[in-house]
C-alpha cells in the first residue's frame, strides 16, 4: 500500500527544488497534492511539470490573506488536510555589519511568519493522525559566517516546531522538522551574489560536509515523506538533520 494513499497534502514553496521533488514523491505515494508558489515563471513551469500530478496555486507564504484564502479553498475542495509540508523559504547571505535590514524583514516574513500563518490557518483542517513537516536548516544550530539572518529565521522555525507539536498533540497531529544541509536547489541562484562568489561559497561549504557533496532535493523529499507518513508515527517535536553529517560531525 502507498504511504500517503488518499491523503491530502499541501506543500508551500512547491514549484522548484525540494518542494517540487516532494510534490512528485507524495503524489507517487498516493497523496492529493497542492503546491504553492509566488513567481509567475516558476508557477508556469510547475503547472506544466505537475500536470495531472498536483494542483499548483499562486499563494504568498508570508501573506496572512493569501494563506487564509488557501485554507478556505482547500477546505471547500477536500474538506480537510492530512499533511502540511511548510517548505517555502528564501535565503540571502552576507556580513552581519553590512546586511540590508529590508532583507532581514523579508526573510522573517517568509521563512518564519509563513509557517506560523500556515499552522494557524490550517490547524482546524488537520485531521487526527495528520502531520506537519517544517523545513528548517542545519544552520539553525551552526555559527556560519554570513548567515546571521537566515540562520535566525531557521532557528525560529525549529522552535515553532516544538511549540506547535505541543499544542497540536491533543488533536492527534504530529509536528516535526527536517533540517537540510547544502542541497542542489535553485536557491543558490537567488543569493544576490556574483556567480564566482556563489561558486566559492559552494566550494567552501562542501569542504565542511563530511560526505563531501551537496545533497539532492530527492533525498530531502524522502525524509519529508518519512515524517509525513505513519512510518514516523511515534515522532513529534523532533528534528532530523539531513545534512551529510555537517551538524553532528
162, 119 contact by CB (below 8 A): no
Average pLDDT (68-82) is 98
Average pLDDT (181-191) is 72
For residue range 189-239, what is the model confidence (pLDDT) as tens digits?
555 556 676 677 778 888 999 999 999 999 999 999 999 999 999 999 999
106, 61 contact by CB (below 8 A): no
For residue range 89-123, what is the model confidence (pLDDT) as tens digits?
999 999 999 999 999 999 999 999 999 999 999 99
What number of helices (H) and strands (E) belong to the chain?
Answer: 8, 7
224, 21 contact by CB (below 8 A): no
Q: What residue ranges define each of the domains in the chain, with the CATH number in brackets?
A: 8-241 (3.40.50.720)
Alpha carbons within 13 angstroms on the beta-carbon side of residue 4 total 30
Rounded CA-CA distance 168/180 in Å is 24
pLDDT of residue 203: 81
Percent pLDDT > 90 in the chain is 90
Which of 114, 36, 13, 34 is closest to 80 using CA atoms?
Answer: 34
- Lowest mean pLDDT of 56-65, 119-128, 194-203, name the range: 194-203
pLDDT of residue 196: 75
Stated pTM of the model: 0.94
pLDDT of residue 63: 98
Which of 104, 115, 103, 15 is closest to 55 using CA atoms?
Answer: 15
Average pLDDT (149-160) is 98
Indicate which residue of 26, 85, 150, 188 is catalytic: 150
22, 96 contact by CB (below 8 A): no
Average pLDDT (37-66) is 98
What's the mean pLDDT when you consider all of the chain? 95
Nearby residues of 196 by Cβ (< 8 Å), 6 or more positions away: none
**Is 150 an annotated catalytic residue?**
yes
Q: How confident is the model at residue 187 (pLDDT cuts 50, 70, 90)?
A: low
pLDDT of residue 205: 81
Percent pLDDT > 70 in the chain is 95
Amino acid at each position: 500500500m502507498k504511504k500517503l494513499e488518499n491523503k491530502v497534502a499541501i506543500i508551500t514553496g512547491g514549484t522548484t527544488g525540494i518542494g517540487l521533488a516532494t510534490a512528485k514523491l507524495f503524489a507517487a505515494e498516493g497523496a492529493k497534492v497542492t503546491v504553492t508558489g509566488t513567481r509567475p515563471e516558476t508557477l508556469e513551469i510547475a503547472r506544466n511539470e505537475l500536470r495531472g500530478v498536483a494542483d499548483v496555486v499562486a499563494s504568498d507564504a508570508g501573506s496572512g490573506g493569501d494563506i487564509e484564502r488557501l485554507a478556505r479553498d482547500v477546505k471547500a475542495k477536500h474538506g480537510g488536510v492530512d499533511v502540511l509540508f511548510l517548505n517555502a523559504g528564501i535565503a540571502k547571505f552576507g556580513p552581519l555589519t553590512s546586511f540590508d535590514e529590508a532583507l532581514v524583514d523579508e526573510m522573517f516574513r517568509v521563512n518564519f511568519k509563513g509557517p506560523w500563518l500556515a499552522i494557524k490557518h490550517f490547524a482546524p483542517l488537520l485531521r487526527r493522525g495528520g502531520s506537519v513537516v517544517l523545513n528548517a536548516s542545519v544552520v539553525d544550530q551552526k555559527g556560519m559566517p554570513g548567515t546571521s539572518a537566515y540562520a535566525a529565521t531557521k532557528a525560529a522555525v525549529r522552535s515553532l516546531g516544538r511549540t506547535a507539536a505541543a499544542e497540536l498533540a491533543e488533536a492527534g497531529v504530529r509536528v516535526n522538522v527536517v533540517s537540510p544541509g547544502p542541497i542542489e536547489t535553485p536557491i543558490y541562484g537567488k543569493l544576490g551574489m556574483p556567480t564566482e562568489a556563489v561558486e566559492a561559497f559552494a566550494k567552501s561549504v562542501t569542504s565542511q560536509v563530511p560526505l563531501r557533496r551537496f545533497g539532492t532535493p530527492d533525498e530531502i523529499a524522502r525524509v519529508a515523506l518519512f515524517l509525513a507518513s505513519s512510518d514516523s508515527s511515534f515522532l513529534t517535536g523532533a528534528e532530523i538533520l539531513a545534512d551529510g553529517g555537517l551538524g553532528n560531525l
